[in-house]
Amino acid sequence: MHVHVQGQNGEAKYWLDPKIELAQSVGFSRREIHEALRLVQEHECEIRSAWHKHFPC
């Protein structure tokens, strides 16, 4: 399970399992990577719910 984060300057991919961590990033500064990580962590439940709706078992 993963999520893609897009911004003005680039994009990043974060794994959600087994823990939230950066998979890859292109164009983001360190600050933007950390801010995106914070947002993914803050919205983890919503992201997981959307994932399961999009990819039902």
Taking the whole predicted model, whether its pTM rises above 0.75 is answered as: yes
Task: Look at residue 57 and tell me whether its pLDDT is greater than 90.
Answer: no
Give the pLDDT of residue 29.
Answer: 97
CA–CA separation, 38 vs 44, rounded Å? 10
Q: What contacts 14, CB < 8 A, 6 or more positions away? A: 2, 3, 5, 20, 21, 22, 23, 36, 37, 40
pLDDT digits (tens, 9 = 90+) for 3-56: 999 999 999 999 999 999 999 999 999 999 999 999 999 999 999 999 999 999
What is the domain extent for residue 36? 2-54
Q: How many domains does the chain have?
A: 1
